[in-house]
Amino acid sequence: MLLRIFLFGSAIVGVLVAALVWAVITGQYEAAQPSPSPSVVASGESAASSSPEASTAESASAEASPSAAASAGASGEVAMVNILNSEFGPDLTVEVGTTVTWMNADGYAHTATQGSDGVEAPDALFDLQLAAGASDSYTFTEAGTYQVTCTLHPNMNMTITVQ
């Protein structure tokens, strides 16, 4: 009996995770859609943006697009960090007020935590728990240099410069 309950629960969790992953993927795809010219080149970019690495560049270059600005709220810009193969990817330089979203494209958990070498800073402003396929955001409201690490993988580090 307990085993049956456990199996049933596992199935429900599996469906929920699949739905979440799908929602994230679809959301990203739509966000990347408003391309100025639907030419052959643009459709090529859209196809490429379905790959996790390309979506980082797409989001970074899409800061002038209306939908990207709208999702950030009041005058804030947005930036995306795509976590893949236990790497944050390139360091970022953003404007004050930018909302940075970390998207975990790996099949296992990460964190995006203010700190370095897997250690959370004593006064950390953010400690985002990112399950497989999950994303979460932090809005940088003050200029400065922010070290970001994953408390589960100490070799995962990046720097965000806010100016």
Q: Is residue 150 part of the contact set for Cu ion (CB under 5 A)?
A: yes
Binding window for Cu ion (CB under 5 A); candidates: 2-10, 27-35, 125-133, 154-162: 154-162
- State how far the Cα of 59 lies from the Cα of 43, in Å rounded to an integer: 16
Q: Is residue 110 part of the contact set for Cu ion (CB under 5 A)?
A: yes
Binding window for Cu ion (CB under 5 A); candidates: 12-20, 62-70, 104-112, 141-149: 104-112
Task: State how far Cα 117 lies from the chain centre.
Answer: 20
Closest alpha carbon to 113 in 81, 71, 157, 76: 157
- Interaction pattern, residues 56-95, with Cu ion; x per rule: CB under 5 A: ----------------------------------------
Please compute, for residue 32, the number of CA atoms within 13 A of its CA located in the half-sphere on the CB side. Answer: 26
The smaller minimum CB distance to Cu ion, of residues 49 and 101, is found at: 101
The smaller minimum CB distance to Cu ion, of residues 156 and 162, is found at: 156
The smaller minimum CB distance to Cu ion, of residues 80 and 150, is found at: 150
Q: Which of 87, 147, 152, 157 binds Cu ion (CB under 5 A)?
A: 152
- In whole angstroms, how close is the CB of 133 to Cu ion at the nearest point? 14
Q: Encode burial over 116-151: b for 16+ CB neighbours within 10 A, e otherwise.
A: eebeebeebebebebeebbbbbbbbeeeeebbbbbb
Within 115-144, which residues bind Cu ion (CB under 5 A)?
Answer: none
Cβ neighbours around 17 below 10 Å, total: 14
Closest alpha carbon to 67 in 42, 92, 59: 59
The smaller minimum CB distance to Cu ion, of residues 62 and 83, is found at: 83
Q: One-letter amino acid identity for 54?
A: A
Q: Are 112 and 74 in contact (CB under 8 A)?
A: no
Question: Interface residues with Cu ion (CB under 5 A)?
Answer: 110, 150, 152-153, 156
